[in-house]
Amino acid sequence: MTRRPSDHLLPFSAEALVKGPRPLALHLANGLSVWREAGSGAAHLRTGTAGWHKAVKDPARSLRSLVRSEDDWRRLVAAVRRRAEGRSAEMLEGINAYLAHPYERPASDAITALEIGSCRLHDFGGAGAPILLVPSLINPHHVLDLMPGRSLTAFLKAAGYRPFLVEWYNPGPEELTFGVSDFVMQRLLPFLDHVGAVAGAAVPVIGYCMGGTLTVALAARAADRVSRLVLVAAPWDFATDKPPAGRKYARVMAETLAQLPDDMPLPVDAVQAFFTSVDPTLSDRKFRAFGNMDPESEAAHFFVALERWANTGAPLPRQVAEDTLIGWYRENRPARGAWHVDGSPVELGDIRCPVWIAAPEQDRLVPQASAYAVAAGLPDAVCHDPGAGHVGMMVGSRAESGLWQPMLDWLRA
C-alpha cells in the first residue's frame, strides 16, 4: 500500500517529545555492554592484548606487567567488576538527571517573518543590515540561537546585523515530498528574496553543515542576490582521503531506504543511530560527567540545551535521503559537478560573491578536506580553521574567538 505523506505525521509529532538520548536502547547498549564485559576483559588481559587497539596496547601491557601474582589478578578482576558496575550506575544516573532537568529553552525574541509550508523565516529584528542564516535540514535551527552567550544570531545582532534564521527541519506534508532541489528553490530562494527585499540589496548568507552545502546551490542560482557567502563545515567532496563519516555505510543506508515503504521518509532514529556510531563510548562519558555537575550551573544548562537540540529531529524526506545518501555520499555528485538543482548542475563558477569557508581540522562529521574542497572551484575563497569540533565551534566556549569574530571580521572587510 502506498502511504500518503500525511499518514506519517502523527507518530512524528510524538517523536518530538523524546528528550533523548536517542535511540535510547542503542545508547544504553553501547555504554553498558562496555562496562558489563570489563571484568572479563581484565581477566583476558592476563593472556594477551588481542582486540586492543594499537593506541592503547602498550599501556595495557604495562598494566599487565604490574599484576604478578594469582591473588593480585583475582583482586584486580573483582575490583574492575565492582567499579564497572559503579560506572554503569553513574551513566544511568546521569541520563536520569538529564531527563529530569528542569531547563527550558528561553523564548526567542524573533518573530516569524515568512512561513511557507512548514518552514519559517525568523526575523531577529533591529536596524542592522539583514543577513540570512541557514542551518542543517536535520536538526533544529536553534543551534544558531541556542541560549544566552551561545548564540550566533545574538552575536551578529549585537554587531549591527539583522539576522534572519531559516527553520526547516520538521517537514510537513508538502516538504515530505521534497528533494534537496525543492528545498533550495521552493523554500530557500523565497526566504532569500524576502531578506533581500528588506535590505533592498543583495545580502550575506551563512550556511552551516548541510545547510551550507545548500547555500552553495542558492548562491549559484541567485548569484545577483547573495553579497557574501559563509560556509561553516559544509561538506562538498565526499571522496577525499578522509571522507565524511558515513560514506562507507552509504550503500547499507541506501539498501535500508529501498526496504522502506513507498515514500516513507528516513526515520529520525536511523539518522540518530548514524551519529551514535561516530563514537559509541561518548554517551557514557558525557552522561557520567553530567551526573557530577551542579545542575544549576551554566555548564549543566548548556549540556541539557545542546543535548535536547541534538536529540530533536524529524524524519528526513525520502527524496532528500536519496539525494544525500546516494547522490552525495555514494556518488559524490557535488564535487563532480553532477549535483542537479532546479534541473541543471550546480556550477561553482556561477557564484560571483566572495566566499569564506570555516572548517575545523578536528571535525569528525565533516572532515576539513571535504569542506575546503569547494575552494578549488572558488579561486578567491578564504579558508579558516575555527579550532573546535563540528558543534563546539558554533556554541562551545571558543565559538566567539574561533568562529564568530573571525567570521564577522571577514563580513566587514
Partner 1 sequence: MEDQEIEQAAELFLDLWQENFRQWALERDLLPHRDLAALIGVAVGVGDSDDPAPK
- Of 40-48, 101-109, 118-126, 165-173, the window that binds partner 1 (rule: CB under 8 A) is 40-48
281 touches partner 1 (CB under 8 A): yes
- Of 48-56, 198-206, 308-316, 384-392, the window that binds partner 1 (rule: CB under 8 A) is 48-56
List beta partners, residue 161.
Answer: 129
- Of 10-18, 55-63, 311-319, 324-332, the window that binds partner 1 (rule: CB under 8 A) is 55-63
CB of 202 to partner 1, least distance (A): 39
CB of 84 to partner 1, least distance (A): 6
CB of 264 to partner 1, least distance (A): 22
Q: Of the candidates 3, 6, 13, 40, which one interacts with partner 1 according to CB under 8 A?
A: 40
Count the neighbouring beta carbons within 10 Å of the beta carbon of residue 300.
Answer: 18
Q: Of the candidates 6, 112, 277, 405, which one interacts with partner 1 according to CB under 8 A?
A: 277
Beta carbons of 133 and 166 less than 8 angstroms apart:
yes
CB of 38 to partner 1, least distance (A): 5
Task: Give the CA-trace dihedral at 234, 240, 246, 251, to 10 degrees.
Answer: 120
Three-state secondary-structure class, residue 223: helix
Of the pair 41, 173, the CB lying nearest partner 1 is at 41
85 touches partner 1 (CB under 8 A): no
CA atoms within 13 A on the CB side of 122: 19
- Of 61-69, 197-205, 210-218, 375-383, the window that binds partner 1 (rule: CB under 8 A) is 61-69
The radius of gyration computed from the CA coordinates of the chain, to the nearest angstrom, equals 23
Count the neighbouring beta carbons within 10 Å of the beta carbon of residue 262.
Answer: 9
Alpha-carbon distance of 139 to 166, in angstroms, equals 12
Alpha-carbon distance of 233 to 245, in angstroms, equals 13
Beta carbons of 309 and 147 less than 8 angstroms apart:
no
248 touches partner 1 (CB under 8 A): yes
CB of 306 to partner 1, least distance (A): 20
Q: Of the candidates 4, 13, 56, 409, which one interacts with partner 1 according to CB under 8 A?
A: 56
Alpha-carbon distance of 206 to 26, in angstroms, equals 34
Q: Which long-range contacts (CB under 8 A, 24 or more apart) does 101-107 make?
A: 101/295, 101/300, 101/304, 103/300, 103/301, 103/304, 103/305, 103/308, 105/142, 105/146, 105/147, 105/305, 105/308, 106/147, 106/148
> What character string, x for contact with partner 1 (CB under 8 A) and - otherwise, covers 5-34?
---------------------x--xx--xx
Q: Of the candidates 285, 331, 342, 387, which one interacts with partner 1 according to CB under 8 A?
A: 285
List beta partners, residue 166.
Answer: 121
274 touches partner 1 (CB under 8 A): yes
Q: Of the candidates 12, 15, 32, 52, which one interacts with partner 1 according to CB under 8 A?
A: 52
Interface residues with partner 1 (CB under 8 A) are 26, 29-30, 33-35, 37-38, 40-45, 47, 50-56, 59-60, 63, 66-69, 72, 75-76, 79-80, 82-84, 87, 242-243, 245-246, 248-249, 273-274, 277-282, 284-285, 364
